[in-house]
Amino acid sequence: MSPVKENLETIIKELPQGATLVAVSKFHPSEAIREAYEAGQRIFAESRPQELEKKVAELAESCPDIEWQFIGHLQTNKLKMVLPYVSLVQSVDSVHLLKEIDKWAVSNQRTVNILLEVHVAQEETKQGFYDEEVVDLLFDAVNGKYKGVNFCGIMAMATNTDDEATVKADFQRATDLFDYLRDTFHELKDFNILSIGMSSDWRIALEEGSTMVRIGTAIFGSRGY
């Protein structure tokens, strides 16, 4: 059995009902993606617009029901390279970006599914919204400010550390925020995704209530940058 297939099976075996595995294929060649596809994986995520465009084209024929998501920093001048091809943008990290996505969606008569990236790590460097910003923004959302955007939940990354207690505490903050938002903004019918957990911490994330894990290295091996 190929390592990719074996890795996928290991993870899927531990995935609870209702949790989704997103295979993070950034920096890996289309050949590796095709291998995962043939092993049954359908959802893949990329972090760079140009790389996404290239792989979409390369895999359209051989992987007809592949589903793409975007998880990287998205510049507003790159929207048309990304939005037509993805089922979900996980990395919406500013009001400016949100407004531009909304504008694109309305003018293209589309609805774009998004997650709000929230800041839960105990590091300055991680991007994302703070709790109060998310609350303000969703108030605007339920009041009809964003006609082209479907708010599907939140995405977060834990502190980059080996200390499990820190990671767990970060994920607990994400889960608490997610629960609070769902209670407060129940008008948002599709607000169901809590995207936490990567190769190093997906088991902890699932224990804390993750509904979507984003795993690259533990499926495809390390990335050759």
Ligand X SMILES: *Cc1c(COP(=O)(O)O)cnc(C)c1O
Residue 161 interacts with ligand X (CB under 6 A): yes or no: no
Choose, by CB under 6 A, the member of 66, 71, 115, 204 that binds ligand X.
71
Contact 73, 67 (CB under 8 A): no
Residue 55 interacts with ligand X (CB under 6 A): yes or no: no
Residue 94 interacts with ligand X (CB under 6 A): yes or no: no
Least Å distance between CB 71 and ligand X?
Answer: 4
Q: Among 81, 212, 86, which residue's Cα sits nearest to residue 150?
A: 86
Residue 160 in tokens: 């980059």
Question: Of 183-222, which residues contact ligand X (CB under 6 A)?
Answer: 198-200, 214-218
Q: Among 12, 207, 20, which residue's Cα sits nearest to residue 113?
A: 20
* CB closer to ligand X, 114 vs 215: 215
- Maximum separation of any 2 CA atoms in the chain, in Å: 52
Query: Which helix (DSSP H) or strand (DSSP E) does residue 215 occupy?
Result: strand 212-215
Beta bridge partners of 217: none
Least Å distance between CB 47 and ligand X?
Answer: 5
Least Å distance between CB 199 and ligand X?
Answer: 3
Give the residues lining the site for ligand X (CB under 6 A): 24, 26, 47, 71, 198-200, 214-218
